Structure 1
Amino acid sequence: LVVFEWLAIVKLLMSGKYDLLHSHWILPQGFNGVIASIPLKVPHVITVHGSDAFALKGKVLSQFKKFSLTHADAVTVNSSATQKQVLSIAPNIKSLNLIPMGVTNVQPNSIRCENLRKKYKIGNGPLLIFVGRLVDVKGVEDLLYALSILKAKLANIRLLILGEGPLRSPLESLAKELNISNNVVFTGWVESKDIINYLTASDIFIGPSKRSADGSVEAQGISFIEAMQAGTPVIASNVGGIVDVIQHEKTGLLVAQENPEQVASSVLRILDDKELESKIIKGAKIKVKSLTSLSTAEKIANVFNDCIKEEQVTNKN
């Protein structure tokens, strides 16, 4: 795979049609990009999304990552947490740029939102939502424990879990063990264009992320920004890049990782304090204005232009 990927990159660059190479992920794309771009004198940018920096540990892989990051003309990262991790791997990067991934401005369908609330709400009980892959780092197990705590006080509460992943079956089994099967719905995969409707239809978004055994952590979390855009108050763990966008009691509520009790108490706090809920929603709406896909595109385009100009100056000299 690595060899043929490298050959494909070299073939494209040798065509002379490209002024810059942009690699997503450090390994193997970033590494292949470096060894293909340097001899052909094509500027190269690596975008680090998070898991490629936090995971894939070990001396050999760390050296490959360091080589790739150090020899790229520029590196972009999506959060302060990713930036810190990247610098711990390769402190001497030519150009390191913090550029969060943004979201597009999508408007919900009011009729669809109303139908979703009618379908999933139990009476007048609150509707909670989680969006993401069902993997260890997302902390969905802790969310189910939090739901079991909340059920004792709010019998009509319901949680929507949007997403697929290897942990779906174990999580469904845990829901049965906790006697909350009627209070949680695993929707499976949902079309991206429909997620805004689910978020808008829900009362609270919860992202109880945690650091996994392999060191992976939520590098940014687009679903948090999408919930903020939808006007749905967010409860999130204070780990990784989440804290770049979720500021406690300003744009959401932060809780300690692996702490179902704090998640449950935060849900009750939002439900009981409408003034706090309104403050959080307003703050989140303001924050998300700077986290658009257009803003991301403009910043990355500036990095591209700088690299191309620098390469042109170098070639002239």
Structure 2
Amino acid sequence: MTVSRSTPTPDRVLYLVSLFPCWSETFIVREIERFVERGVDVRILSLKPPSETLVQKRAGALMDRVIGPRHPLAELPTVLLEVLRHPIGVLVVAAQLLLGLWKQPAALGKSAIAVWRGLAALPAIRRFDPQWLHAHWATYPSTVAWALSKLTGVPFSFTAHAHDIFVEDQLVAPKLADAALAVTISRYNVRFLARWGAEQLGERLQVVHCGVDFAELPENLDARADDHLVTVGRLDPIKGFDTLIPALGLLKRRGVRFRCTVIGEGPQRRELEAQIAAEDVADRVALVGAKPQEAVRAALNDATVFVMPSVTTPEGNQDGIPVALMEAMATAGAVVSTQVSGIPELVHHERNGLVVPPGDARALADALQRLLGDEALRHRLGLAARALVAAEFDARHEADRLLAQIGVRCVAPEGLVHAR
């Protein structure tokens, strides 16, 4: 479903996120931008104060829409007044949090803090008078959206992504039951959500992809290096970079010419640096840290092959569908990835990229070597990759689909639903 002149849309939507701006969540920025472009007034409730040193320009342009937390002591009078205003509602929320999360004390404590911040923001939210609440992630942001919906009567929805359902269960079942709309990013996730009864939601459960700004990713086939491997992602076990480094060691020992740029930062840096030294590829591999979006785009356009070696960790954590992988494909880049989560819904083996088993360094090396040595194959796969992203992963189209789904649920015959 897409937005048309006949599709109703809300006037005011409140987004709830853990942190805004967040360097790795450009997909949320694109979604909000599209809502604003469609005439929706958007505010953003950030549950954490700004903390990142690297802020994307497009996120910075939305900062005047952000409602952020204050010091807890400054929030105390507001929270007490809101508790007095909604005593039964707050008691119900607190009881459900306790019953649902008592076996997860850390999650319970953080949820209590998140709900506190939601209560503290209620005066500002009430002035904004949202007609819909939408949260990204099935953890703390959706907990606050769920709680605020109970207190105000404003309908809510949330988007489930990856770790928030693969390794967490923060009241997912009651959130699915109470949400006016539940969204997730892949068909794989729809099947995964069945453990919480999602199959009973019918049309209230929708797949809306995290898309890319296709218009800003022109096709690029010929102006690429002939030996440059690129990957983008947080230096985290789910990304499989500890499989990539041994694969690069294999390529070097086979005499394959290459250089590899790893864009991103995270807790695995020291481990990866040790691997790079052990595989003797320090002269070929650069861990360049987090970079602005412009630098990422430049690297994608230079890449001979983009590689995303995602894995599933022993705890069950895994990627959703990596946005960087979509961006590489949108530029008509040749890609190699793995059979993890929703990735095969984006990368179809031998049709628009190559897919290998996760954690298999030899298979990864073989695929990289094959693409590095075959320009015609890279071009064929790259063009097919761009076509698929245009059809199914354009951020503007996907945001339109989400807005349409919200619109048909938000608008009733007697008019739009308003906060009480």
Is contact 2:217-2:330 (8 Å) kept? no
Displacement of 1:138: 0.3
Equivalent of 1:102, from 192, 211, 221?
211
Paired position in structure 2 for 1:121: none
Residues 101-128 of structure 1, C-alpha deviation per residue, up to 9 Å, x if partnerless?
1111224799xx88xx5xxxxxxx6111
In structure 2, the residue corresponding to 1:182 is in which secondary structure? coil
Equivalent of 1:74, from 175, 181, 185?
181
Paired position in structure 2 for 1:304: 406
In structure 2, the residue corresponding to 1:289 is in which secondary structure? helix
Displacement of 1:74: 0.2
Asked if residue 35 in structure 1 is aligned to residue 143 in structure 2, the reply is no
Asked if residue 207 in structure 1 is aligned to residue 315 in structure 2, the reply is no
Displacement of 1:155: 5.1
Paired position in structure 2 for 1:120: none
How far apart in 2 are the matches of 1:230 and 1:109? 5
Residues 75-124 of structure 1, C-alpha deviation per residue, up to 9 Å, x if partnerless?
111111222222222323360110101111224799xx88xx5xxxxxxx
Equivalent of 1:90, from 184, 197, 203?
197
How far apart in 1 are the matches of 2:345 and 2:388? 10
Asked if residue 244 in structure 1 is aligned to residue 345 in structure 2, the reply is yes
Displacement of 1:275: 3.2
Asked if residue 285 in structure 1 is aligned to residue 386 in structure 2, the reply is yes
1:184–1:108 distance in 2 versus 1, CA, 3 Å: farther
How many residues end up aligned between the 2 structures?
Answer: 300
Equivalent positions of 1:192-271 (< 5 A) are 192-271=293-372
How far apart in 1 are the matches of 2:244 and 2:405? 39
Displacement of 1:15: 3.5
Amino acid at match of 1:262: A
Amino acid at match of 1:299: R
TM-score of the pair, normalised by structure 2: 0.67
- When the two chains are superposed, the root-mean-square deviation of aligned CA atoms in Å is 2.4
Is contact 1:205-1:235 (8 Å) kept? yes
1:209–1:266 distance in 2 versus 1, CA, 3 Å: same
How far apart in 2 are the matches of 1:106 and 1:16? 32
Amino acid at match of 2:260: L
Displacement of 1:308: 0.7
How far apart in 2 are the matches of 1:234 and 1:34? 39
Displacement of 1:268: 1.8
Amino acid at match of 1:82: N
Amino acid at match of 1:305: G
How far apart in 2 are the matches of 1:133 and 1:188? 9
1:182–1:127 distance in 2 versus 1, CA, 3 Å: same
Amino acid at match of 1:99: V
Amino acid at match of 1:140: F
Residues 203-223 of structure 1, C-alpha deviation per residue, up to 9 Å, x if partnerless?
001111000122111111101
1:204–1:314 distance in 2 versus 1, CA, 3 Å: closer
Displacement of 1:304: 1.4
How far apart in 1 are the matches of 2:308 and 2:412? 41
Paired position in structure 2 for 1:178: 279
Range 265-274 or range 244-253, more displaced = 265-274
1:41–1:263 distance in 2 versus 1, CA, 3 Å: same
Range 221-230 or range 88-97, more displaced = 88-97
Is contact 2:312-2:318 (8 Å) kept? yes
Range 37-46 or range 293-302, more displaced = 37-46
How far apart in 2 are the matches of 1:167 and 1:312? 54
- The answer for unaligned runs of 5 or more in structure 2 is 1-112
In structure 1, the residue corresponding to 2:411 is in which secondary structure? helix
Is contact 1:108-1:196 (8 Å) kept? no
Is contact 2:219-2:386 (8 Å) kept? no
Amino acid at match of 1:74: L
In structure 2, the residue corresponding to 1:18 is in which secondary structure? coil
In structure 1, the residue corresponding to 2:262 is in which secondary structure? strand
Displacement of 1:147: 0.2
Amino acid at match of 1:71: D
How far apart in 2 are the matches of 1:109 and 1:275? 16
Amino acid at match of 1:302: A
Equivalent of 2:163, from 51, 54, 73?
51
Displacement of 1:312: 5.2
Residues 254-306 of structure 1, C-alpha deviation per residue, up to 9 Å, x if partnerless?
00000011111111222333332222011101111121111111011101101
Identity %, equivalent residues = 23
Amino acid at match of 2:346: V
How far apart in 2 are the matches of 1:258 and 1:310? 50
Higher RCO, Cα 8 Å, sep 6+? 2
How far apart in 1 are the matches of 2:256 and 2:181? 53
1:17–1:243 distance in 2 versus 1, CA, 3 Å: same
